[in-house]
Structure 1
Amino acid sequence: MDRVYCEPCWLFSDRMCLSHHPSWTVGINDWQGLSAKIKKHESSRAHLAACVVFDTWKNDLTVDAQLDSEYKSQVRFWTDVLMRITDVTLTLASCNLAFRGHREKVGELNSGNFLSVIDLLARYDPVLRELLDKKSNVNYLSPSIQNELIALLSQRVHDEIVSEIKEAEFYSVIMDTTQDLSKVDQLSQVFRYVTVRKDEADNAIAVDINESFLGFQNISDQTAQGLETKITELIQSKGLPLHKCRGQGYDGASTMSGIYSGVQKRILDKEPNAVYVHCAAHNLNLVLNDACQHITEIKEYYDILQRLYVFFSQSIKRWELLENHLKSKPTLKRLCPTRWASRRDALYALRFCYADILQALTKITLRSKKSDERTEAMGLLKAMEAFEFVMMTVIQEKILETINIVSQVLQKKDVDLLQAASLLGNATCTLAQLRDQFDNLKCTAQGLASSWGIRCNFRHKRTRRIKRHFDELTEDQRLTNPEEIFKVNVFYMCIDTVVSQVRTRFHGMDSVTRKFQFLCPTELLRASDEALNESAQTLAAIYNEDLSSEFSSQLLSFRNALGVTDVATALKLFLTIPVTVASAERSFSKLKMIKNYLRSTMSQDRLSGLAMLSIESQRARRMDLTEIVKEFAQKNVRRRGRFGHC
């Protein structure tokens, strides 16, 4: 065929186009002026359109392929967007930060932390920048999406913890309640269980004691029956069998700890092996509280400490005056009525700032023009210049230092009853020995008093005279020496009260500890075969559903490094029993940060979800966010289309 034609136009030219010239599709044989005709055709609209289609076809880019490529690009974009939004949600929740602001639009003033962080990231991240530049109603930045992501993230953490509890042989419940800012009673759910870490060869390499938080639950019925019903329902809703519960940890409130109709007794009736252990940390606080309440001098001493703090802290000028004297020394601390560790800090600050406080009070008494201020300063100054007050400072610091060591350890998650009992036993011995160290404490107090310019002698008090009636055998107060009066009525009584209260209040813990004490390595090696066999049989009889009749023989074999199946079970049982409710108490600190006065209308589900992501933040950070995105995308048909069925 002696003709020339345009291949793109021959294949893809639009025959209906007005600029279409059929000669280029059938061929041209007019050779005169051909180059000019070619140039004119190359610039025609029909030819250019045909060339675009021709190039697409030549590169194997069909319309279907182009549409598929565009769809995959959109799927990647929306997946990347949601990954970033989910990560921002998790970060804010882990840091206890509020999400929403006064307005719900990106870029506006007071738009809240969530939208502000998105706007900040968009300055450096092209994906979020493209999202904010899109003129679309869909951007996944609304409060409802936030709630949905919080729910998905917290549910994933919840399910992972529940799965671990189910894999563990036993668990214990640790529950405590508090009132939030909206006057709603919140129940903190904490579960204690033991996990065994293994290597690639499936050999056990470590044992971990876990106390995991599983959310807050609002309580409407605060009676023992109502709380027991709610706790039982919560356990069953997680798919956990109640017959695997081996411990209960509550505070000393009668509703929870009552021996006749308290929560612990009601659950114990359903599961006899769910032993109740009164929170050791609460018990320790009650020991010191009893010592304070029953001895007038100690109560007055702490009242003066609180008055000192209030006196200086209620006035900016007085506080500034004190700060000028203290310089870099620790300042006065407020006394917390429930946390005795704060009292140790207050005593520490008082001892190291004693002389500076005396100077500040003296200046106020001499220079102040307010009569009530001078009167209060003179009263505090007189109290602090008494040698009894210095002596009390030394004694109380020694007692609280001993108790505080135990208190700090008891608040750890991985502490067990043997450790707690051992620490309490050592503390009791130390305090009992302190009874014979009055002279040493007096020497220490005299040295401090001399350095502070205080007289080192006890003040004389009027001898108490008892009114005599006819035919009655009465006599006046026997002790007349002020030092002896202080030693007997204050020092001895304080030490005796603390020691006796420790022994009385921790009797329940000791009874549980004695059941498992033979499993301690030192006892296991030291005990005779007969004693070991008797202890093992007693424990096996108590936990007959968990330990077999071969437990005693296995225990003897364990001592000889043989089979240990039931021994491991017994150890897990012991480690599962709770010691304190400190983990539940710590969750209340998070509750106050999350549900503050600016967020008092927060829903219960959002509160519980945010608390879980904050308290279990390490576990939440290990989550695979792509799984969260997939779960989010499967919620409805429109999302499945946008996210490509993930």
Structure 2
Amino acid sequence: MDIRKVFVLKRKKPEGASSDSDDSVGDLARPSTSKEPNLVPDSSINDCNENDIGKFIGQASMLSTEMKKELLENTWSPSATYDFAEDAKHLKRKFNYSWLETYSPWLAYSRHQKGAFCKYCTLFPPNPNSFRGVLGSFIIRPFCKFKDIHEHCKKHMETHFRKMALEAAKSFLGSVPVDLQLNKYSRGIIEENRKIITSIISCITFCGSHDLALRGKHYGEGILEDLYKLRIDAGDLVLKKHIEHGKKNASYRSIAIQNEIIAICGDVIKADIVKKVKEAEAYSVLADETADISGTEQLSIGLRYSDEEANEVQEMFVAFVELKGLDAKSIAYCIDEFLTKEDLNPADKCVGFGFDGCSTMSGKDGGVQAILCKKYTKALFFHCSSHKLNLVINDLNILLEIRNTMGTIKDIINFFRESVLRRKLVPNIARLCETRWSEKHKTIRVFKENFPVILEALENLSREGNSATRKNAFQLLAAAFKISFILCITLIAKYSALLEPVVNALQSIALDVVKASQHVKRILQLLKSHRDNPERVTDEIIKDATVVAEKVSLEEDITSMPRIVGKQRHRSNHPAENP
């Protein structure tokens, strides 16, 4: 028997105090190192929240710094609808949720212990060697005498050891170990860098979605740099701080970073399209080859598929593939490699290929379509309908007058567009684009509608301006101010107006085979009726040309016979007795 126990004065236990008054408690804890192991809760209480304060009673010295910080900042707390009556079956009165708000932040409820604790005293208990007294409820065991909770809470708040525990908790939170501080600092840098890169990506995607060039002639110029300034003026303080004070070797504004972001955005968009194509029952491949501004041969690949969600046909561009060769085998290999790489299952789902009509692409024996259709037997080859139509229209250039008229129209448009001052004299007319066929028909229509204004501007410029302007304007005026030119432009505009809706329809993404066939049939019927009634159609063209000639004050008789010779060599006129 320890003789010292004889001299210990036994004191009356306060209400709510634990009968196990000799339970040992830990010291007022300093922050422990992160190398200390975390306490693993007992498996019998796995149904409770891992931050339940009742799981760690009497074990403060075993907790790691991270765990103590987590318990202080994110102690488990029951919801307002928690069933406290279930925990108080053996008690006369249950716990009230409002008490947690009244004695916040130190009071915590434990589902595991089914009682209340002071989380400060639990995590930073006083040292028994420096404190004389009995510790019980709120510290080493739950307080369950809820009838007198307000009285005991107020007494507990006034105790010296509770005040010491509060100061210890504040000191602990203010003296986080270096490794945790570094982790927090690293997370802050990551979050800030994400905000910076988000602003930069936003500017780059804006340029891409609006077909704007990112860079200018010199480094530090261009639309992208101006967008950075615009965001800063709009209040983007993170980007402003980064540009003005950020590290120059990590500015994320270099050409390499821009290209990398563009490539990543392209991969994200392509992945989304490919995912939808995989979900479709079937798809077809569209491909065309052209050289970019740097002279690199690029193969553009598009996919046409049925979107089940939108219930419509979609036609999407998916990739540019650099060509190593321009022969049929090289091009076919690039297309095949792309389909295989994207796991599009071409053997089962690819049902068509659409190319232009050159021999390399459409050759029936050694063309790209022959190579691919031989490998993928379900696929059929289709020559681009718009391309075929354009080839037919271009065949009209075998007529000398038509070819000269188109050349004159192109020269007149270029003459006005190459000068800002001259451009203001006539309405805005687009250039005759050789590849964008719908724009070509629109240009012819606008040119014919504004022909009188164009001639008036040419006449004024032939008398004013510098010598080069006067010379070019006079030559163009002489070529256009003729009855033959007016007849040709009237003829071209008449049939161009018929073909323009068809060209636009054939280039439509959502066009199906039935609608395309209907458009073509209507045009064929109309052209057949014109061939069956040539005199009526010719009279209509002559009348339209006469109206235009009167507007421009051309006195030449449109019905006069041109000079004829025995053998026609320089004109396409067929022998006739009237014009």
Q: TM-score range by the shorter chain?
A: 0.5 to 0.7
Flag the 1:59–1:222 CA change in 2: closer, same or farther, 3 A. same
CA drift of 1:63 comes to 4.7
Conserved 8 A contact 1:248-1:277: yes
Please say if residues 288 and 301 of structure 2, whose CA atoms lie closer than 8 Å, have aligned partners that are also in contact: yes
Q: Which residue is equivalent to 1:356? A: 453
Cα distance change on mapping 1:407 and 1:119 into 2, 3 Å: closer
> Which is helix-richer, 1 or 2?
1
Alignment of 1:216-227 (within 5 A): 216-227=320-331
Indicate how the Cα distance of structure 1 residues 246 and 92 shifts in structure 2: closer, same or farther if over 3 A, else same.
same
1:445 pairs, out of 545, 548, 556, with 545
The answer on 1:279 being equivalent to 2:390 is: no
Which is bigger in relative contact order (C-alpha 8 A, separation at least 6)?
A: 1
Determine the C-alpha separation between the residues in 2 that align with 1:213 and 1:345: 25
1:159-308 aligned within 5 A: 159-197=271-309, 206-243=310-347, 244-291=349-396, 293-308=397-412
Task: For residues 528-570 of structure 1, give each alpha carbon's deviation from its aligned partner in whole angstroms, at most 9, with x where no partner exists.
Answer: xxxxxxxxxxxxxxxxxxxxxxxxxxxxxxxxxxxxxxxxxxx
Give the superposition deviation at 1:87: 4.7
Q: 2-side partners of 1:231 and 1:135: how far apart?
A: 44
Aligned length: 411
- 1:462 is aligned to 2:573: no
Query: Aligned ranges for residues 371-520 of structure 1 at < 5 Å?
Result: 377=473, 379-435=475-531, 436=533, 437-455=537-555, 456-466=557-567, 478-482=575-579
Which letter maps to 2:546? Q
CA deviation digits over 1:601-644, x for unaligned, max 9? Answer: xxxxxxxxxxxxxxxxxxxxxxxxxxxxxxxxxxxxxxxxxxxx
The alpha-carbon deviation at position 269 of structure 1 amounts to 0.8
Which letter maps to 2:235? Y
Alignment equivalent of 2:431, drawn from 322, 334, 349: 334
Map 1:573-584 to 2 at 5 A: none
| Secondary structure in structure 2 of the residue aligned to 1:173 | strand
CA contact (8 A) 1:188 1:216 kept: yes
Q: Residue 234 and residue 429 in structure 1: after superposition, are their counterparts in 2 closer, same or farther (change >3 A)?
A: same
Q: Deviations over 1:558-606 (max 9, x none)?
A: xxxxxxxxxxxxxxxxxxxxxxxxxxxxxxxxxxxxxxxxxxxxxxxxx
Amino acid at match of 1:184: T
Measure, in 2, the Cα distance between the counterparts of 1:118 and 1:68: 37
Partner Cα distance (1:393, 1:337) in 2:
18
Q: Residue 118 of structure 2 aligns with which residue?
A: none
Kept in 1, the 8 Å contact 2:360–2:368? The answer is yes
Q: Alignment partner of 2:364: what SS?
A: coil
Contact 1:81 1:127 in 2 (8 A): no
Q: Is the 8 A contact 1:186 1:216 kept in 2?
A: yes
1:81, 1:128 within 8 Å by CA — same for their partners in 2? Answer: no
Match of residue 224 from structure 2 = 113
Distance 2:345 2:524 in 1: 39
Alpha-carbon separation, structure 2, partners of 1:54 and 1:452: 98
Partner-residue secondary structure (3-state), 1:449: helix
Range with greater deviation from structure 2 (157-166 or 380-389): 380-389
1:154 and 2:266 equivalent? yes
Amino acid at match of 1:246: V
- Residues of 2 paired with 1:149 and 1:412: CA distance? 31
| CA distance in structure 1 between the partners assigned to 2:491 and 2:217 by the alignment | 54
Relative to structure 1, is the Cα distance of residues 70 and 279 closer, same or farther in structure 2, using a 3 angstrom cutoff? same
Measured on the aligned residues, the alpha-carbon RMSD in Å equals 4.1
Distance 2:321 2:328 in 1: 16
CA distance in structure 1 between the aligned counterparts of 2:233 and 2:462, rounded to whole angstroms? 61
The secondary structure found in structure 1 opposite 2:450 is: helix
Instruction: Give 5+ residue unaligned stretches, structure 1.
Output: 1-9, 14-24, 28-50, 198-205, 468-475, 483-646
In structure 2, distance between residues paired with 1:98 and 1:338:
22
Counterpart-to-counterpart distance in 2, 1:429 and 1:285:
19
Deviation at 1:252, TM superposition (A): 1.7
The separation in 2 between residues aligned to 1:264 and 1:133, in whole angstroms, is 56
* Runs of 5+ unmatched residues, structure 2: 1-26, 31-128, 132-162
Deviation at 1:154, TM superposition (A): 3.0
Q: Percent identity?
A: 26
CA–CA distance in structure 1, aligned partners of residues 342 and 292 of structure 2: 25
Q: How far, CA to CA, are the matches of 2:221 and 2:477 in structure 1?
A: 50
1:95 aligned counterpart, secondary structure: helix
Deviation at 1:375, TM superposition (A): 6.5
Q: 1:77 to 1:102 in 2, by over 3 A?
A: farther
Which of these residues, 441, 445, 453, is aligned with residue 344 of structure 1? 441
CA separation of 1:264 and 1:352: change in aligned 2, threshold 3 A:
same
User: Which amino acid in 2 is paired with 1:307?
Assistant: D
- Structure 1 distance, partners of 2:500, 2:251, is 50
- Deviation of 1:384 (Å): 3.2
CA contact (8 A) 2:207 2:214 kept: no
Contact 1:170 1:245 survives alignment (8 Å): yes
Distance 2:466 2:539 in 1: 43
How far apart in 1 are the matches of 2:482 and 2:201? 58
Distance in 2 of aligned mates of 1:376 and 1:423 = 42
Deviation track 1:77-128 (CA, whole Å, cap 9, x = no partner) reads: 5235314413522441341356678999xxxx65993697289549834545
Deviation, 1:207, is 1.1
Q: For 1:61, what is the secondary structure of its paired residue?
A: helix
Give the 3-state SS of the residue equivalent to 1:420 in structure 2. Answer: helix
CA–CA distance in 2 between the matches of 1:66 and 1:52?
24
- Residue by residue over 1:381-424, the C-alpha shift from the partner in whole angstroms, topping out at 9 and shown as x without a partner, is 44434333222222211211111111112222111222222112
Q: Which residue of 2 aligns with 1:600?
A: none
Secondary structure, counterpart of 1:415 in structure 2? coil
